[in-house]
Amino acid sequence: MTEKTFKLPDVGEGLTEAEIVQWRVKEGDTVAVNDVIVEIETAKSLVELPSPFAGTVSGILVEEGTTVEVGTPIFQVSPAGAGGKTPAKASGKVKEAAAPEPAAADGPPSSSLTGTGPKADAVRRRPRRSRATAVPAAPEAPAEAPRPADAPRAAVQDRFNQLIQRVLAKPPVRKAAKDLGINLADVPATGAGGEVTKQDLISYQAQRESEVDSADTFWSSSSKPQDSRIERVPVKGVRKATAKAMVDSAFSAPHVSIFVDVDASRTMEFVKRLKASRDFEGIKVSPLLILAKAVIWAAARNPSVNATWAGDEIHVKHFMNLGIAAATPRGLMVPNIKDAQDLSLKELAVALNELATTARAGKTPPADMRGGTLTITNIGALGIDTGTPIINPGEVAIVAFGTIKQKPWVLDGEVIPRWITTLGGSFDHRVVDGDLSARFMADVAAILEEPALLLD
């Protein structure tokens, strides 16, 4: 059997490239079908790729941090029982050490040094290892005077020592360290197994930032050449995809934006009651939940805001895949809740919590990023009053939710403090004209002013 080559697949609709974030295997490792071999970053999320082959990894063809196109060979596997090529990193040494010796042919086998299971050449390795085990008992070869034939074994042992000296850390910690430019070997480890934990990384980064703050400021010294004071950040992954999508949307869909101030005092009271309810125990509840329900309710009354412009057709969706714009360490992402119109208030709250947790961890699957029909962006979480959001490609409406804060408000002729927010909506004017956009926003505002309308 010949070596099998694994090419970077399209893990999402229309994916053209991805970055190799972290290899989970190395040359010489034994893998089974569906073992995770590599973590990649696409334009939408982090994805773990399983191996479609079983055998021994014979080649890692792309280095971590490299962006490659779909279809590019990224690693090779020698099927079990096949000769395959000698792993590049162990070239010569392993081959010499594996030469069989008749005197030890009946010795007992030993386990793999790396702990990953038997390799494709395990039959040839056994004589060497059994001989090494028998050496201390041989009178003509005292332990303090190793024979020249033991040199290959020493080389393999050195490789093993290098492996066990590798800094221990879970993949998310490694990814965070890479993003921060931190060498894990410099971080004091406090984990129970000697691994670097997330808290270790946070503490180290805080100390490093403190040292930087005390030594210098963000501004570089004016004595340095101007070009050396420019930080160059590669545009790739989510940032690259977001930039393209926003430009395409801004210059293809004629945007029109409208704003409305809303007295959300009753929404705040309703949220407070939900938090105290036993039915919502353990579930995070915020005003965003009520807004999400309001958008679903208002879209049912104004269906054309939940649609797609398709050139010579307008596709009105009789389902709501509600997108929630999320700011993550990897950039802006817009995962969506499928068939949100079918969810109860409690189910919607759970879905929002799961969406946020997954997005912050960078683990949103590509499927959750596709098929959105209408989007909410919660800019109020950052203390912003309102804004003019850009419509998510493929949709015709987006609602920006501003911060809720107490302001003077005229109610029944009296000026009193109330919880006020400002909603901003952007619409594709090819589908949603001024009248429709105004009615939709008025309906959303009505629910925030009186959540009891959701019971109708």
Top-level class of domain 238-455:
alpha beta
Written as six digits, the tokens of 53 are: 């082959």
Fold of the domain spanning 167-232: Dihydrolipoamide Transferase (4.10.320)
User: Nearest Cα to 160, choosing from 120, 193, 195, 113?
Assistant: 113
Determine how β-strand 4-7 pairs with β-strand 405-411.
unpaired
In our burial notation (b when 16+ CB lie closer than 10 A, e otherwise), range 98-126 reads: beeeeebeebeeeeebeebeebbbbeebb
How far, in whole angstroms, is CA 26 from its chain's centroid? 22
Q: Rounded to an integer, what distance in angstroms lies between the CA atom of residue 112 and that of residue 119?
A: 8
pLDDT at 455: 77
Structural tokens at position 416: 């009193």
As averages over each run of 10 residues, the pLDDT of the chain (456 residues) reads 83 74 90 89 77 90 88 88 44 38 41 37 39 41 47 52 61 82 84 83 76 52 65 66 68 84 96 94 94 95 91 89 85 89 95 90 83 93 87 92 94 93 93 91 96 84
Give the pLDDT score at 370: 87
Tell which residue, 376, 380, 375, 355, has the closest CA to residue 268: 380
Active-site residue list: 429
pLDDT at 407: 94
Rounded to two decimals, the pTM is 0.55
* Three-class DSSP category at 357: helix
**Residue ranges matching CATH 2.40.50.100 in the chain:** 4-164
User: Residue 140 and residue 145: Cα distance in Å, rounded?
Assistant: 10
CATH class for the domain made up of 4-164: mainly beta
Supply the pLDDT for residue 372.
Answer: 93
The tokens describing 174, both together, are 């490694």
pLDDT on residue 284: 93
Which one, of 198, 186, 345, 190, lies nearest residue 280 by Cα? 345
pLDDT at 302: 94
Residue 130 has a pLDDT of 38
Predicted confidence at residue 203, as pLDDT, reads 82
Residues of the chain with CATH 3.30.559.10: 238-455
CATH 4.10.320.10 boundaries in the chain: 167-232
The reported pLDDT for the residue numbered 168 is 82
Q: In this structure, how many other beta carbons lie within 10 angstroms of the beta carbon of residue 140?
A: 6
